[in-house]
Amino acid sequence: MKSKLTKQIPMSSDALQQRVMGLREELNKHNYLYYTLDAPIIPDAEYDRLFQELVKLETDHPNLKTIDSPTQRAGGQPLKIFPEVNHRIPMLSLDNAFTFETVQEFDKRVHDRLKTSALILYACEPKLDGLAVTLIYEEGIFVAGATRGDGVTGEQITENLRTIPVIPLKLTDKNPPHLLEVRGEVFMPKAGFKTLNERAIANNEKTFANPRNAAAGSLRQLDSKITASRPLSFFAYAIARIDGKKDVFSTHHESMEYLKHEGFPICPLNHIANGVKGCLEYYQKLVEKRHSLPYEIDGVVYKVDNLDLQKQLGFVSRAPRWAIAHKFPAEEALTELLDVEFQVGRTGALTPVARLKPVFVGGATVSNATLHNMDEILRKDVRIHDTVVVRRAGDVIPEVASVVLEKRPTHAKKIVLPKKCPVCGAEVLREEGEAAARCMGGLGCRAQQKESIIHFASRRAMNIDGLGIKLVDQLVETGFIQNIADLFQIEAESLASLQRMGVKSAENIVNAIENSKKTTFPKFLYSLGIREVGEATALALANHFHDLKSVMQANEETLQTVPDVGPVVAAHIYAFFRQPHNREVIDKLLKAGIHWPTPKPVPSVESHPFSGKTFVLTGTLSELSREEAKEKLIQFGAKVSESVSKKTDYVVVGDAPGSKLAKAENLGVAILDEKQFLKLLNNN
Ligand code: 9MJ
């Protein structure tokens, strides 16, 4: 019988070698495009196909395997210990500055030592909150890597470092230096950290307190396959040594350009500043950007850019005289948990709140922090009188992040969920599958009354100016009002009789209540405080039903035809409108004169120009918050992504955009300013 035409002809060993080398080059290129530039040009399935072809060739021909092959990133045999290594060039630590004055003193010392009054150029870099490592390349191939350790001796973690996708296993230079030693920081991006912890919670495993600990825990795994499964990344920030290369650089930033060219990821926020003034401006900019970055930073680093000047300045003990770390205020601090109280929210949910020994953290004194819910308390094993880590990051509510178990005193007390509501004494129940325990007192509970009124009056709901927490508290405690409809019966005279309330302010509030009567349908729906109905859902309901009666009459099945409304939300909406008390309150509100224009019909999601498109938002928008923009996009059937890639359809650019704008320009992604975005959003 004739052989089939499709039968493969065996490759010559030369051709085999060529194919293997070609595949590696191709895979390295796509790896770099995907992980370092976040701009893939081939589908994942095509990458996998090329990868599997290489795996097969290397398995069939083990003599063709090399340590710089992309197949070596998956992790190898577990180790017994990490061997110790002496760093040929010590890994420096940096002096710290916590104030602008200390940075100015540093700049003065630099000038004094160099005996110059000329402006110094400084390389400014974010100070990444990860682990310092060193990477050694011989003849262009990654051969060894180690942790910083004490700066003189570290641990060899070569196999673990090999698994980090952005660390090049081979330099791109066809004529590489004989030896290159690169220093940088391994870190875990915030998004990866979040997913890792969510997975740990789902599997009943221990979580990491912060991305830094997660990165450290992941790098110190004796089984490199575990490291390979962790979302680690890396930025290079120094060349410790380069041998056998002509035309070496005269500035730090040139050395970074070289590393970038060789395939290393370099932080896109690095910047050259003119003198100390430029450094402090950079600091200020990063303070503002800090929380919107995809990775954690704990300060900035200033380095004299000129390498000759660096040499002249030299070192003092283990720190260079040519660099300093300007630290941000710490976002974590230790303190004692004095007690736990349970606060009752708008929907009756009981939130455990930690009363703390006051501690200065994230730029403010904190004496209360959330413990989220009972599951979190049990998972973190928090007890009263424990020493706890308090975290206050940006404008996020301070939280108890973890416990220092080693410091637990013998009189530490377990935290118990109260059986009765601490405000109204009604039963506390926890429904199946819910994290929160709830007071069953409903709107008979004063806490729930107050919270529902505060929500109703809030800026994004009915926007009643001057009706804040303190006043609502007083109004409910004195029995003036019990529900949102009562607000519209308040008279200025009786209001003025309240404590700390003048005639003028009473009039202002009554006027504000009067003015709030003119509203919009989505705002009214949102202000009712139906569980799980945020602004986006309220808007979707308004767009779908057009009038209140239809929303109130809709059954759960109909409600689920509204975009983003699933069975749980539908059940909450349905139940809300079945409660006689709620119907009564709504009736009173309408009778009091609350009104809105009939909503303009909006086009269906499918026909909206944003439907099915992928958006990235960068910078600050003036008309709406990023969260609002995101909600609206989702409502119109668009996807919102954190990073720009070839798959991005639009990048919306606000004030002070980040590196995403540059990336969008590089990739030729369509860019919209806020005005253009709003115009398209409103479909006109
Ligand atoms: C960090 N942690 O981001 C240095 N670093 O330079 C940056 N650390 C450093 N540079 C010399 N960006 C010693 C340490």
Question: pLDDT (tens digit, 9 = 90+) per residue, 17-75?
Answer: 999 999 999 999 999 998 988 888 888 889 999 999 999 999 999 999 999 999 999 88
Query: Which of the residues 2, 56, 127, 420 is marked catalytic?
Result: 127
**Which of 327, 189, 323 has its CA nearest to residue 265?**
189
Strands 614-618 and 650-653: parallel
Please work out whether the CB of residue 185 comes within 6 Å of at least one atom of ligand 1: yes
Instruction: Among 237, 256, 310, say which to mutate for ligand 1: greatest number of ligand atoms within 8 Å of CB.
Output: 237
Amino acid at 84: E
Task: Name 356's bridge partners.
Answer: 337
Q: Which residues are bridge partners to 134 per DSSP?
A: 146, 183
CA 621 to chain CA centroid, Å, is 18
The rounded percent of the chain whose pLDDT value lies above 70 is: 97
Q: Which amino acid is at 102?
A: T
**523 is annotated as an active-site residue:** no
**Mean of the pLDDT values across residues 258-265?**
96
Q: Which pLDDT score, from 0 to 100, does residue 3 have?
A: 43
Cα 666 to ligand 1 centroid, rounded to whole Å: 28
- Residues 402-461 pLDDT 10s: 999 999 999 999 999 999 999 999 999 988 888 889 999 888 899 999 999 999 999 989
| Mutational pocket test of ligand 1: of 125, 212, 305, 327, the residue with most ligand atoms within 8 Å of the beta carbon | 125
Residues 6+ apart with CB under 8 A from 325: 94, 95, 96, 97, 127, 299, 300, 301
133 lines ligand 1 (CB under 6 A): no
> How many helices and strands in the chain, by DSSP H and E?
24, 26
Q: How far is the CA of 127 from the centre of ligand 1 (A)?
A: 6
In whole angstroms, what is the distance from residue 517 CA to residue 535 CA?
A: 18
- Residue pLDDT, tens place only, 582-594: 999 999 999 999 9
Helix axes 211-219, 190-202, angle to 10 degrees: 80
pLDDT 10s digits, 267-322: 999 999 999 999 999 999 999 899 889 999 999 999 999 999 999 999 987 899 99
CA of 301 to the centre of ligand 1 (A): 6
Atom of ligand 1 nearest to the CA of 127: 3
Q: Ligand 1: does its nearest atom lie under 6 Å from the Cβ of 238?
A: yes
CB 177 within 8 A of CB 244: yes
Q: Ligand 1 centroid to 94 CA: how many Å? A: 8
- pLDDT tens track for 362-372: 888 999 999 99
Structure letter (DSSP) for residue 562:
S
142-175 per-position pLDDT tens digit: 999 999 999 999 999 999 999 999 999 999 998 9
Q: First CA to last CA across the chain, in angstroms?
A: 70
Q: What is the pLDDT of residue 423?
A: 94
- Which is higher by pLDDT, 393 or 52? 52
10 Å CB burial of residue 466 (0-12, 13-18, 19+) is: middle
Instruction: Look at ligand 1, atom 4, and give the residue with the nearest C-alpha.
Output: 237
- Give the number of other CB atoms < 10 A from CB of residue 70: 22
Give the model's pLDDT for residue 8. 59
pLDDT at 602: 62
Q: Of 548, 670, 520, 544, which Cα lies nearest the Cα of 610? A: 670
Ligand 1 pocket residue status of 237, Cβ below 6 Å: yes
Provide Rg for the chain, Cα atoms: 30
Using one digit for the tens of pLDDT, what is the confidence trace for 169-199? 999 998 999 999 999 999 999 999 999 999 9
Pocket of ligand 1 contains residue 128 by CB under 6 Å: yes
Any idea which of 52-56, 111-115, 145-149, 635-639 has the lowest mean pLDDT? 635-639
CB neighbour class for 180 (10 Å; exposed up to 12, middle 13-18, buried from 19): buried
> What is the per-residue pLDDT across 459-497, written as a single tens digit (0 to 9) for each?
989 999 999 999 999 999 998 999 999 999 999 998 988
Q: Is the pLDDT of residue 331 over 80?
A: yes
Using CA atoms, how far apart are residues 305 and 327, in angstroms rounded to an integer?
Answer: 20
Q: What span, in angstroms and rounded, lies between the C-alpha atoms of 524 and 539? A: 10
Q: Output the CA 619–ligand 1 centroid distance in Å.
A: 26
Indicate which atom in ligand 1 lies nearest the CA of residue 297. Answer: 3
Q: What share of the chain is helix, strand, coil (3-state, %, to 5)?
A: 40, 20, 40
Per the CB < 8 A criterion, the answer to whether 333 and 247 are in contact is: no
385 CA to centre of ligand 1 in angstroms: 38
Sign of the Cα torsion 413, 416, 418, 423 reads positive
Q: What is the pLDDT of residues 655-676, one digit of tens each?
A: 877 778 878 887 888 999 988 8
Point out the least confidently predicted range of 86-100, 403-417, 523-537, 665-679: 665-679
Res 603 pLDDT > 80: no
Q: How much of the chain exceeds pLDDT 90, in percent?
A: 71
Q: Report the chain's mean pLDDT, rounded to a whole number.
A: 91
Could you give the CA distance from residue 599 to residue 63 in angstroms, rounded to a whole number?
Answer: 72
Q: Is 131 in the pocket of ligand 1 (CB under 6 A)?
A: no
Q: Is 663 touching ligand 1 by the criterion CB < 6 Å? A: no
Q: Does the pTM exceed 0.85?
A: no
* For ligand 1, atom 1: residue with the closest CA: 127
Q: What is the structure's pLDDT at 2?
A: 42
Task: Dig out the tokens for 147 from the structure.
Answer: 């942790």
Task: Return the axis-axis angle of helices 674-681 and 626-635, rounded to nearest 10°.
Answer: 30
| Cα–Cα distance for residue pair 514/508, rounded to 1 Å | 10
The minimum-distance atom of ligand 1 relative to the CA of 91 is 13
Element housing 46 (H / E): helix 44-60
